[in-house]
Amino acid sequence: MGSRASSLLREEEIEEIKKETGFSHSQITRLYSRFTSLDKGENGTLGREDFQRIPELAINPLGDRIINAFFPEGEDQVNFRGFMRTLAHFRPIEDNEKNKDPTASEPLNSRINKLLFAFQLYDLDRDDKISRDELLQVLRMMVLRMMVGVNISDEQLGSIADRTIQEADQNGDNSISFNEFIKVLEKVDVEQKMSIRFLH
């Protein structure tokens, strides 16, 4: 009569994940159940098809980018640690964390790291700059170009991209660096908009 769900997740692992991501004990075990239910192949890792099987994610225009964020450079499978590490970016920021020990590294769900996560979803080639092309790519994914009554041509998207870069670019290199990105979005309530409220 043992418990099947957590038999594969050892206490030490839970502690490590807790330290790394800040999720509570019960949240980690619940997310582990979710992980195993998505893992149809039952091999302890998730592949891209496992994510694409979620209908609500499949209809998300940026779904593919989000799925990519889970997979480290060049890999096809993500294990539970990697899964949790990516999810940790969307953990809400708690007040008591602001008073934490300053020598500890920045928690994964800090404002800076949330913005970095969003930045990296734009910056595909990881050169720390969002180029015009990269911005255009994301725009193309979000928009429906052949729409009756409205015409959003590639040129229009191009000029939108140009205007956005112009607004944000401060050092004149025609691309958006991470600092410029932070500056443009400094008034956005990132803590609330890039957080998922977990029920205990």
What is the binding site for another protein (CB under 8 A)? 1-6, 11, 14, 25-26, 29-31, 33-34, 37-38, 51-63, 66, 87, 90, 117-118, 121-122, 138-139, 142-145, 147, 150, 152, 160, 163-164, 168, 176, 181, 184-190, 193-199
β-pairing, 146-147 vs 129-130, is: unpaired
Nearest residue (CB) to another protein, 81 versus 100: 81
Nearest approach in angstroms of CB 102 to another protein is: 28
Compute how many other C-beta atoms are within 10 angstroms of the C-beta atom of residue 45: 17
110 φ, ψ (degrees, to nearest 5)? -70, 165
46 or 107, CB closer to another protein? 46
Least distance in angstroms from the C-beta of 57 to another protein: 5
Of 89, 50, 45, 49, nearest to 69 (Cα)?
Answer: 89
Got the DSSP string for 150-162?
A: EE--HHHHHHHHH
Nearer to another protein, 100 or 142 (CB): 142
Q: 3-state class of 70 per DSSP? A: helix
Report in angstroms how near the CB of residue 13 gets to another protein at its nearest.
Answer: 11
Backbone φ, ψ for residue 124 (5° rounding) = -65, -40
Cβ 150 to another protein, closest distance in Å?
5
**Of 124 and 184, CB closest to another protein:** 184
Nearer to another protein, 20 or 184 (CB): 184
Q: Is the separation of the CB atoms in 126 and 69 below 8 Å?
A: no
- Residue spans of beta strands (DSSP E) within 61-128: 78-79
C-beta of 195: minimal distance to another protein in Å? 8
